[in-house]
């Protein structure tokens, strides 16, 4: 597939550096507000760094305020120390934000067989609370601005286990599969508003 030419909004071609994956900036994205959950470690911290280097205004969400502050110091993003399973606190934290790019990265993984889960129903509850309900709450809070603006991108970090039916990960995979189903339904509804919904099926990391 041939690469599409990247252009400025006025139609002028961007410099080659702005089209490269490791470009330190991207003029089209400069200042665009983005929110990344689980931004204090791992993939979330890496995504936060990548987006800030490309000129986006990034808000990073995580529970661990100290680690989040460290990432903020390293990347220049704005830290929002909040537990996304606390729907009231989450709603309050993002109430005044107008976000164009949402990266639902925060997640909890549990590897445990069903035979060892008979008395651990809470494993299923807590994975759904974080991996599904927290992500859906953020979408519902931030989507009105995207629909009004008729532009936006929602990126959900999913798991290859959703496609492979991974054994011993039933709690985790079920929560990610729920988010997948929600996203597919949402995609059809917001297509006319030019909002893109993307699921990324990550391997074990």
Per-residue pLDDT of the chain (205 residues; tens, 9 = 90+): 333 333 333 334 434 434 445 556 666 677 899 999 999 999 999 999 999 999 999 999 999 999 999 999 999 999 999 999 999 999 999 999 999 999 999 999 999 999 999 999 999 999 999 999 999 999 999 999 999 999 999 999 999 999 998 899 999 999 999 999 999 999 999 999 999 999 999 987 7
pLDDT at 204: 79
Tokens linked to 184: 């597919």
Helix axes 170-190, 135-149, angle to 10 degrees: 10
Burial 85-98 (b: 16+ CB within 10 A, else e): bebeebeebbeeee
Q: For residues 130 and 125, give the distance between their C-alpha atoms in angstroms, rounded to a whole number.
A: 9
Beta bridge partners of 104: 156
CB atoms within 10 A of CB 3: 6
pLDDT at 186: 97
pLDDT at 205: 77
Q: Is the CB of residue 36 less than 8 Å from the CB of residue 44?
A: yes
DSSP 23: -
Q: Three-state SS for 173?
A: helix
pTM of the model: 0.85
Q: Which residues are catalytic?
A: 172
Q: Three-state SS for 9?
A: coil
């Amino acid at each position: 597939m041939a690469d599409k030419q990247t252009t400025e909004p006025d139609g002028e071609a961007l410099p080659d550096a702005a089209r490269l994956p490791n470009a330190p900036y991207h003029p089209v994205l400069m200042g665009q507000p983005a929110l990344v959950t689980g931004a204090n470690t791992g993939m979330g911290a890496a995504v936060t760094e990548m987006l800030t280097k490309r000129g986006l205004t990034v808000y990073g969400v995580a529970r661990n305020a100290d680690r989040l502050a460290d990432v903020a110091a390293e990347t220049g993003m704005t830290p929002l120390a909040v537990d996304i399973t606390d729907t009231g606190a989450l709603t309050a934290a993002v109430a005044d934000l107008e976000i164009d790019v949402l990266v639902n990265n925060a997640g909890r993984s549990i590897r445990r067989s069903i035979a060892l889960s008979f008395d651990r129903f809470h494993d299923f509850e807590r994975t759904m609370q974080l991996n599904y309900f927290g992500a859906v709450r953020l979408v519902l809070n931030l989507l009105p601005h995207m629909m009004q603006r008729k532009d936006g991108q929602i990126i959900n970090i999913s798991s290859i286990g959703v496609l492979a039916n991974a054994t011993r990960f039933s709690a985790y995979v079920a929560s990610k599969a729920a988010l997948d189903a929600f996203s597919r339904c949402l995609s059809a509804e917001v297509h006319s508003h030019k909002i893109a919904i993307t699921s990324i099926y990550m391997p074990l990391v």
